Amino acid sequence: LCTDPIDRKEDLLNDIVPPNANLPYNVKDIIYAVVDFSEFLEVQRHYAPNIITGFARFNGIPVGIVANQPQYLAGVLDINASRKAARFVRFCDAFNLPIITLVDVPGFLPGSAQEYGGIIIHGAKLLFAYGEATVPKITITLRKSYGGAHDVMGSKQLRSDINYAWPSAEIAVMGPEGAIEILEGKNIREMDNEEERKLFIKQKEKKYKEKFANPYEAASYGYIDDVIEPRNTRFRVIRALQALASKKDVNPPKKHSTLPL
């Protein structure tokens, strides 16, 4: 019997994500705040620290947790992080552990070293692991969830059962800065006045966030089930786990799957 209250509210979570999307925070603070008795067993702590993997309990139910770590490389996905998370997701699925995913990912790490190392196929391993897993899958988007990295981090498109988002979530094909540079780059370069240029960029970024990079837009398309108050995260996760306790999901019958290798 778990004596840690199910409806315990953590007010610190309402202010843990900085208003400036470029500032980091420690995702472990969120994990410790929502799990039973702040007990979290992290695995592979020193390997690919831009993603956190480990075990915890919610109301006595053992789960596996996957979380992007904004404190290291802004939580970006690279080759090592993709392999680490994919291995952990498959482990949880093999031993029937529900998977809780905390998302704050700006994308895949760019660069020739990653491309030569095969970032696409290693990213596909994480995509495959989430897609094939039949255990209960609950995803909470904390802040950024951009492009291909959004897809591979337990998205609705990968058969995630329940997807929540905090009000601070930004779900889009790319961040406002990059999008405006592509969409309005020519107009920006033609401006001679520096102040006018900055004001123009700021206005366009605000408009982009209102129209695309927010959880309510994603919810309208069914990719997010509910936008939740951060301090209620523990309660909502436990309710979701209880609802999914009898989940039965079967993959297509075949001799074996074709894992990206």
SS3 252: coil
What are the distances in angstroms from CA 192 to CA 88, 162, 186, 197, 221? Answer: 52, 49, 12, 8, 40
Q: Which of 147, 138, 127 lies closest to 239, judged by CA? A: 138
As given in the structure block, the two tokens for residue 226 are 């509910």
Quickly count: other Cβ atoms within 10 Å of residue 33's Cβ. Answer: 19
Query: What region, left, alpha or beta, does residue 248 occupy, with left being phi > 0 and alpha being psi -120 to 50 degrees?
Result: beta
pLDDT at res. 16: 95
pLDDT at res. 67: 97
Residue 66 burial by Cβ neighbours in a 10 Å radius (0-12, 13-18, 19+): buried
What pTM does this model have?
Answer: 0.92
Report CA 223 to chain centroid distance, whole Å.
13
pLDDT at res. 193: 82
pLDDT at res. 155: 93
pLDDT in single tens digits along all 261 residues of the chain? 789 999 999 999 999 999 888 899 999 999 999 999 999 999 999 999 999 999 999 999 999 999 999 999 999 999 999 999 999 999 999 999 999 999 999 999 999 999 999 999 999 999 999 999 999 999 999 999 998 899 999 999 889 999 999 999 999 888 888 888 888 888 888 887 888 888 888 888 888 888 888 899 899 999 999 999 999 999 999 999 999 999 998 888 889 888 898
As given in the structure block, the two tokens for residue 85 are 């998370």
